[in-house]
Amino acid sequence: MASSRVGQAHRSATPGVAVVALGGNVLIRDAKHQAIPDQYATVQQLAPHLVDLVASGFRLVITHGNGPQAGFIMRRSELARHEVAPVPLDYVVGDTQGAMGYMFVKALGNEMNRRGLAAPTVAVITQTVVGANDAAFEHPTKPVGSFMDEATARHYSTTLGWSVAEDSGRGWRRTVASPLPIEVVEMATIASLTEQGVVVVAGGGGGIPVARDHDGQLHGVQAVIDKDLTSALIADGIGANLLVLCTGVERVAVDFGTPRQRWLDHLNVEEATALVDSGQLGEGSMKPKVQALVDFVRRRPGAAGVITTPDRLGGIANRSTGTWVTA
């Protein structure tokens, strides 16, 4: 199923436009390092690996998740509900885009300056359009925010109109829809900045979820969007030739956690599709990532996708890291 590691390591990835997707969890080292200064310290550690791509000649767009950060904001909102109005979910995503974008802009700017590189870095507040009639709104199953007891959850359901559900025996949580992204409003801006050599931070948290009404006006919706799907949408829209999805493991594996476990260096689209359909990959982890790469490569013949860890981004230039998906 997979090409040999040696065969891939000697082939280079032609510098072009790369979209690198980082998870929100990547900034949370452990339960004792969740504060904003701790998260920024982690971004500072990531910055050299991201700048390695710029130094290799790539024009770079960085996207990021926001699960823990959005959860912190919602928890603060819950605790302060007797003093200030709750923050709507679309504004929560906007808040995280601004704060996390600031972290990346500052850390990357400092690293660029240290190396004498001239590429400026900007964060773009990004809206992602979803279908107002997406079937996901009929079944809001994505847990968000903090755990609570059933009585509190029922109270919020009555007073705030929340959908709530019990979450794997750990308590009750608010649940929201996770509709498919269909358009990134700021796509042309992201593309223009990238063409000018600007490093762009965009699509945070999958984008601020919005829907268009019959007059074409945008309205925020209470939902969350998969950031890997939005990252693939951005990569396709700006003509990227590389989509990088960062995870906690450097490669995809088959028979994971068993004596037969085998790491994969390269998959073509047909092999990757078969792997997605095989049930080998985790539903909430590796499966959607591989599927996002398959969709991207199918839309852009000649492009490539790769799954690797953030600290191995520098190995992309000579393909010495990750699981690659190509046509």
pLDDT digits (tens, 9 = 90+) for 267-278: 999 999 999 998
Running DSSP on this structure, what letter comes out for residue 327? -
Spot the catalytic one: 289, 305, 315, 322: 289
What is the model's pLDDT at position 8?
41
Q: How many CB atoms lie within 10 A of CB 294?
A: 23
Residue 177 resides in a domain = no
Greatest Cα pair distance in the chain? 62
Spot the catalytic one: 67, 207, 227, 287: 227
Both tokens of 106, joined, read: 């500052």
Residue 267 resides in a domain = yes
Spot the catalytic one: 66, 71, 94, 142: 142
- The span from the CA of 133 to the CA of 180, in Å, is 11
Instruction: Please confirm, yes or no, whether 32 is among the known catalytic residues.
Output: no
Degrees to nearest 5, angle at CA 92 with 172 and 44:
105
On the question of pLDDT at 12 being above 70, the answer is no
| Domain count along the chain | 1
Residue 276 resides in a domain = yes
Catalogue the E-assigned strands of 149-261.
Answer: 163-166, 172-176, 181-184, 199-201, 208-212, 218-220, 242-246, 252-254
Please return the burial class of 267, using the count of CB atoms within 10 Å of its CB with bins 0-12, 13-18 and 19+. Answer: buried
Residue 98 resides in a domain = yes
Residue 46 resides in a domain = yes
112: left (phi over 0), alpha (psi -120 to 50) or beta: alpha
SS3 state at 202: coil
Which structural domain, as residue segments, surrounds residue 34? 5-131+187-326
What is the model's pLDDT at position 67?
87
Both tokens of 141, joined, read: 């199953």
What is the model's pLDDT at position 71?
87
Spot the catalytic one: 24, 71, 101, 305: 24
Q: What is the mean pLDDT of residues 31-51?
A: 92
- Express each pLDDT in 150-205 by its tens digit: 998 898 888 878 888 888 788 888 888 999 999 999 999 999 999 999 999 999 99
Instruction: Please confirm, yes or no, whether 289 is among the known catalytic residues.
Output: yes
- The span from the CA of 119 to the CA of 54, in Å, is 8
What is the model's pLDDT at position 279?
83
- Express each pLDDT in 121-133 by its tens digit: 999 999 999 999 9
- What is the CATH classification number for the domain harbouring 44? 3.40.1160.10
Q: What is the pTM of this model?
A: 0.88
SS3 state at 163: strand
On the question of pLDDT at 7 being above 60, the answer is no
Both tokens of 51, joined, read: 């700048």
Instruction: Please confirm, yes or no, whether 142 is among the known catalytic residues.
Output: yes
Residue 241 resides in a domain = yes
Running DSSP on this structure, what letter comes out for residue 108? H
Residue 165 resides in a domain = no
Please return the burial class of 312, using the count of CB atoms within 10 Å of its CB with bins 0-12, 13-18 and 19+. Answer: middle
Instruction: Collect all residues with Cβ–Cβ distance below 8 Å to 256 and sequence separation of at least 6.
Output: 280
Residue 160 resides in a domain = no
CB 190 within 8 A of CB 207: no
Q: Compute, in degrees rounded to 10, the torsion defined by CA atoms 250, 168, 131, 96.
A: -60
Pairing of strands 127-130, 181-184: antiparallel
